[in-house]
Amino acid sequence: MRLGSVVLFVAFCSFTAHYIYEPIPEEIEERWKLMLTNSFFRGLSHLADFSELLGLKDYMGVMYFITLLEKVVPLSDEHVSVTEEKFDGVEVVLYQPKQEGHELRRAVIYLHGGGWCLGSSRMSPYDLLARNIVTQLDAVVLSVEYRLAPPHHFPVPYEDVYRVVKHFLQKGVLTQYSVDPGRIAVSGDSAGGNLAAAVTQQLQKEHGQQLKAQALIYPVMQALDLNTPSYQQNQDMPILPRTLMVRFWSEYFTSDKALFRAMMANTHNNYESSNLLKFVNWSAFLPETFHRKYNYSAPTVVKGDGGKDDVGMDGSSRSFADPRASPLLVPDTALHSLPKAYILTCEYDVLRDDGIMYVTRLRAAGVEVTHEHYDKGFHGAMMFTVWPTDFLIARRMTDNYIKWLKKNL
């Protein structure tokens, strides 16, 4: 009996240790903290799979718990006045400096991450970042609560953001908040970086309207090639394994699992998207050092006429080749008059090469780009600022990002 419980106990401990322990590269700082953090994410992901399997709640519905866990009610403090508003029907959280200024202010429109399916501008790390920008730049921050997939597939999240940006840029609105029309930036992390890049392009295309800057933090830039060297190298890395990123991508467009399976196999390209593969050719756009041990092979293109029965997917599945979802898919002529850019990438991130390819393409088109690559960085690192999942690297990233905004906005 006693032996039995000992055996059970040992089995339980080794299972737990095995669950938590994951081969994380030596050079990543605070490795054990990251392993523990990640075991929580993995555990929740398994629970979400299980729940979906049993037909209880869909996968993203369970994963949304992450968002709820960190949600706060944004309140005004000593230095920052916080209000919740609706801009053209879309919820925003508006942060303004309390101190009266006699000059017009800078503004940052911020878009949170979470794979278009999770996250909120009301999560404590985003709330904290917004206050940080307000106090350090004496700026106005507009944090957009765009609607999320899967209840709201593409283009809803994108369009919500675009509507807010256009509403904010109206002369009367800028005057109301004492914002200098010549000093406005759009910024975001991960899926938020994707939305930021996409609206910046769209504004330029439709209005020739120049934002002063765009600041993209480990952005998602393209859905055509999900086997770039960084996708391969980091497929099991903490926080954002390849499976989860592919899941986010497919759920952005459709709840039809056929797209998820095709994207997992990188065989989702069709006749229509194949002409755009040249824009995501990593053999051409990644500096040699980032090729690592991988050899280029173009994604398989599944034959089809681009008709509605193509690869057995519905029409919305094919939106992955829309540049409003994959901002890398535009020709150089659509890039050259974009505002200057800040792009942050992390070594241990499936999205590393997305960001680096955009750096190369923007520079080739003549755009001024500051590229900060973190050798020890992992996806999502900059938002790990709140105890108990606070990481030193998050502080360094935040400092450098704000420093860039101070100087360039």
Ligand X SMILES: *[C@@H]1O[C@H](CO)[C@@H](O)[C@H](O)[C@H]1NC(C)=O
Applying CB under 6 A, which residues contact ligand X?
Answer: 277-278, 281, 283-284, 293-295, 298
- Angle (nearest 5°) at CA 317 between 315 and 321: 100
Q: Compute the least distance from the CB of residue 74 to ligand X, in Å.
A: 46
- Least Å distance, CB 293 to ligand X, is 5
Name which of 162 and 285 has its Cβ closer to ligand X.
285
**Nearest distance, CB of residue 368 and ligand X, angstroms:** 25
Nearest to 67 by CA among 109, 103, 114, 135: 114
Q: Which residue, 126 or 294, is less far from ligand X as judged by CB?
A: 294
Identified catalytic residue from 112, 153, 268, 379: 379
Q: How far apart are CA 266 and CA 343, in angstroms?
A: 26
CB of 9 to ligand X, least distance (A): 43
Q: Identify whether 152 is a catalytic site residue.
A: no
Sign of CA dihedral 379, 383, 389, 394: positive
Backbone φ and ψ for 126, nearest 5 degrees, come out as -75, -35
Q: What is the CA radius of gyration of the chain?
A: 21
Find the catalytic residue in 120, 121, 190, 250. 190
Residues 204 and 299: their CA atoms lie apart, in Å, by: 30
The distance of closest approach from Cβ of residue 387 to ligand X in the complex, given in angstroms and rounded to an integer, is 42
Nearer to ligand X, 47 or 301 (CB): 301
Which residue, among 367, 360, 375, 272, has the nearest Cα to 315 in the 3D structure? 272
Half-sphere exposure of 39 (CA within 13 A, CB side): 15
Q: Is 190 a catalytic residue?
A: yes
- State which residue, 5 or 295, has the beta carbon closest to ligand X: 295
Tell me which residue of 143, 79, 138 sits closest to 105, measured CA to CA. Answer: 138
Output 298 or 311, the one with its CB closest to ligand X. 298
Q: Please give, one letter per residue, the 3-state secondary structure of 393-406.
A: HHHHHHHHHHHHHH
Q: How far are the Cα atoms of 78, 136, 139, 172, 199 from residue 105, in angstroms, in the given order?
A: 19, 12, 5, 15, 22
Nearest CA to 200 out of 192, 209, 191, 53 is that of 209
- Which CB, 124 or 232, lies closer to ligand X? 232
Q: Is 88 a catalytic residue?
A: no
One-letter amino acid for residue 257 of the chain: K
Least distance (Å) from ligand X to the CB of residue 302?
15
Residues forming the active site: 190, 349, 379
